[in-house]
Structure formats: structure tokens, C-alpha cells
A and B are shown apart, each in its own frame.
Chain A
Amino acid sequence: MRRLTWFNATSLTLGFAFLYLPMLILIIYSFNESKLVTVWAGFSTRWYGELLRDEAFIDAALVTLRVAVASSTIATVLGTMAALVLVRAGRFPGRTLFSGMIYAPLVMPEVITGLSLLLLFIGIGLDRGILTIILAHTTFSMAFVAVVVSSRLMSFDRSLEEAALDLGCSPFDAFRLVTLPIIAPAVISGWLLAFTLSLDDLVIASFTAGPSATTLPIKIWSSIRLGVSPEINALSTIMIGIVAVGVITASLVTKRASLRQQAEERAAAQQA
């Protein structure tokens, strides 16, 4: 059954070429000497130098990182709580509304989320800046954390936690010592997902950021509105590189962890 026919090989090759060629071209042309981005004029790291000297970009990158770290951390706490409520809390008044509000941001067009939050911030007189972007990003990314964590919680063997309670743990200790280590991989991927979503977001940040806070996507957006720019090519290459290293490292780490877990389970099975 698992045979690599010419058809499958062709579709995989073409498919991955389609997915990766545009990014590859971007990376190659980021080392282009010429300011005319579509004409190759020799190898140069000139645009990286210009990018690193451009304070507006550095500032925007710092704002983006601060927003992403803060919003993904709050979103992970709230999203994990929401997942516990969805999977564990049973029935309570307003449960339908709660799960509706958890899942809705997943499918909500960003223009609507951005518009509605902006109108709220103006309505309550909150000055737009880093704080409002953090609030906005937390709200939409906690939904993603909740979905990731709740799928892990659903497959979790509850008797482990009950055993801890029987053995005298307080509910909080049982959560901290038993549940949390088991759902930790999902919580970490939830955090990473929230972090990436925040780094990446243009639309919601554009609505909720005031003139005092410019994030990297907003800065990129204003540079590329009028066409391709060599500095943005350099910036894209750096961002693609960071993501590639991160994803490859993460997949190697999880692979090793799952191998170790398999080995432990095998050892335990032998002892039993």
C-alpha cells in the first residue's frame, strides 16, 4: 500500500516546490546588491546592515516582542483555565455562552475583532498603545490555547488525579503535581501558537495600536504597500530563519521526548 508511485512523487515535489520556492526566492534576493529588487546585481549583505541601522525597525521589533510575550503568557493562563472549565466544570449557568465565546474568535474575521475592540477602547477612554494591543491579542489567542489544551485534557486519564486526591493532595496540588506536568506539552504548544499569532498579526494590531506603538507587521505593511523593498526581504529572511530553527528544534525535542517516553513505558511494562 505504502508505495511511492510516480504520481505521488510528482505531486509531493510540485506541492513542496510551490510552498517553498517563493520563500526561497525572497531569501536569495535579500542578498542582492541592487536596490531594484527584481534585478540581480551581485551578492551583498548591504540590506541587512541598513535594516539593523534603521531604528524604527528595531523599535517596532521590540514592541512586537513585548506584546507577544505578555499576550501569549496571559492567554496561556486564561486559555488553560478556560480549557479546564470546558472539559471539567460540568454544567453551570451560561455554559453555552462560554463555549461559544471561546470558539468564536477562531473563526471571526480579524477586521471585525479589530474594529469591535477599537470601539470598546475608545468607548471606555483607554489610550491606544502597547496595553491595548496586549489586551486584544490575549483575547483572540486564548481561544487557540483553550482548543489545544482541551484536546489534551480530554484524552487525559482522570484517575491519576483522583489517586493524588485520595492520597491527600489538595486540589491545587493535584493539579500542579499531576495534571500540569501531563498537559504541559499542550500548554507549551498553546503558548507558542499564541506567541506566533501575536507576532504575525497585522489587522487587529492596526486597529488597536495608537500612534505611540508600532508593531513589526504594521511597519512592514507600511513599507510594502507601494511594492517590494530590499530591506523587507532581509527582514523576512531573518524571520523565516528564526521560525525554521524554532520549528525544527521543537520537532526534534518532541521526537526525543516521545522516544524516551516509549522507552520508559516499555521498561515499566517489563517490570510489571
Chain B
Amino acid sequence: MRRFALIALPYAWLLALFLVPFGIVLKISLSDIALAIPPYTPTLDPGAGWAGLKAFLSQLDFENFVFLTSDDLYWKAYLSSLQIAVIATFLTLLVGYPIAYGMANAPDHWRPTLMMLVILPFWTSFLIRVYSWMGILSTEGYLNQLLIGMGLISEPLTILNTPVAVYIGIVYTYLPFMILPIYSTLERMDGSLLEAAEDLGCSRLTAFWLVTVPLSKNGIVAGCFLVFIPTIGEFVIPSLLGGSRTLMIGKVLWEEFFNNRDWPVASAVAVVLLLILIIPIILFQRNEQKQRETEG
């Protein structure tokens, strides 16, 4: 009885506030926009039983999904989200790997402090961390002031409201997610393997490529997924740093909902986004499971 209560309470909560809402999104994505509030029809009447279900099914239409394919905006936004996520993940890896490597090779008594320094930004407001770049990257911002002051450029660069600013924002905010898994694989690495490689005639760089990188593969893969998956649906970064020229699907969904008040299309955008995300999420979980098995 007690076991039943233990299972039932969180289960019921998740069913009511996680699964049912998704059912509603799916349903609305298959509905017509109507003038009434809430602006959607049809409704499934559970009291009517089988006939009600049949009536409900016959009213469903895939118009909203057809609409998504017919308007350039949507598929361009999906593609551009994927492209931005891929490039940003790669850049985060390039920035994060040397930091994780440096941490793993730092003197032992430094490491708790370095760890804390990586985690600290993670606890700091995401919104504020993105916001901090607005003052740096704007036309009259600190970076342009610095570059002009040093005489490197004469005209201010336009960085804010371009994709470059979005990349900077993503690398900056998601960097801890890349550093931590890579650091944890590098930290456990057996240093004698590198010495063996060097003894056998590898240069330091070759030893790094042939020994360190393959051994930290699990950390690299985990870090890349941890950056890639949330980046696809990102809303705050493209809205604050990307300007109107940066197209990302999270922003499109937000605007479809709040500005156009087209709930069925917003729901259809969400359903397709979820379908796109399922593949990397499954791959990520497989990778995690494989890692647990090799460790256990």
C-alpha cells in the first residue's frame, strides 16, 4: 500500500502536468483556428464514448502541418536552428576542450577551485549571462571601444544582431556543459598511457591525437549532446543577441503564439520540433547507457 502511494503520487503529477499537456498540444496542432477563446476546435468528448471518438477523429486535419511545409519561414527556421546548433556545438567543443584539458592537468590542489569556477556561472542567471554580452557587442559597446582605442579598426564592427553574436552567446552560456563531461573523462585517464606512447616514439601532439582524444571520446560525445540538444530550441539567445535576421525555431514558436496568437500553428511547430529532437535524444541516451555499461 505504501509502495503504491510512493509510485502513484509522482506518477499522477507527471501524467497530469507532463503527458496530458502534450496530448493537448498534439490535439491542437490538428485543430482549426477558431475565433473563440480558447482559439481551437474540435474537442474530444470522453462522455460520448466510441461515437465521440469517431466524431473527433473525423474532424482532425493536418492542415497546420501542410501549412508548415508550404511556408518558407518554417522549414528555413528548422534548418537554420539545426545549422546554428551544429556550428555552435563545434565552437563550444573547440573552446571547452583546452579548458577541460588544462583543468585535468592542473596541480591537484587547484582542481576543486577550478571546478567551482566552472560551476559558478552555471548557477548564475542565464538571462543575465546572455544580457552581459549586449553591452560588449553593441556598435558603441565595450569591444568596439577597445578595438577602436587600440587603433585596430576605424569603423565600429556590427556584431550584435548577427549570427556571430548568437554563436558567442551559445558558446558562453553552454560552456560548462561541455567542460564538465570532458574534464571528468580526462581526469580519470591513466597518465602512464601517454608516457608509453611517448616512449614508443610518438611526439606529444601525436600522442594527444592517438591516445588522449580517443580516450576522452565519451566526454566529448556527452558534452556535444548536452550543448546541441538545448540549443536547437533556444529562445533567449537568438532573441537578445540575434536580432531579426537570425531565424531559430524557438523564436518562431514564441512569436507564432504571443504575437500572431495562432495556437494551432504554434502547436504544430512544437510537435515537429519534438520529432526532430527525438533522434539526438535517443542517441544521447544510448551513449550514456553504453558508458555506464563499460564503467560498470
Contacts and interface: CB of A to CB of B under 8 A. Distances in A.
Interface residues of A, number: 82
Given A4-B105, A123-B38, A22 B132 contact: yes
B141 A116 contact: no
Contacts of A23: 121, 124, 128-129, 132
Given A22-B136, A23-B124, A255-B112, A81 B6 contact: yes
A98 to B, nearest CB: 6
B50 interface: no
Given A102-B14, A110-B233, A116-B270, A18 B105 contact: no
Contacts of B223: none
Nearest to A25: B142
A239 B128 contact: yes
Interface in B119-171: 119-121, 123-129, 131-136, 138, 140-142, 145
B78 interface: no
A112 B25 contact: yes
B17 interface: yes
Contact of A2 (B20, B106, B140, B142): B106
B108 interface: yes
A209 interface: no
B191 A26 contact: no
Nearest to B16: A120
Nearest to B257: A115
A103 B28 CA distance: 24
B142 A119 contact: no
A200 B126 contact: yes
A243 interface: yes
Interface of B: 2-3, 6-7, 9-11, 13-15, 17-22, 24-25, 28, 38, 95, 98-99, 101-103, 105-108, 112, 114, 116-121, 123-129, 131-136, 138, 140-142, 145, 172, 175, 191, 194-195, 229-230, 232-236, 240, 250, 253-254, 257, 263, 266-267, 270, 273-274, 277, 281, 284-285
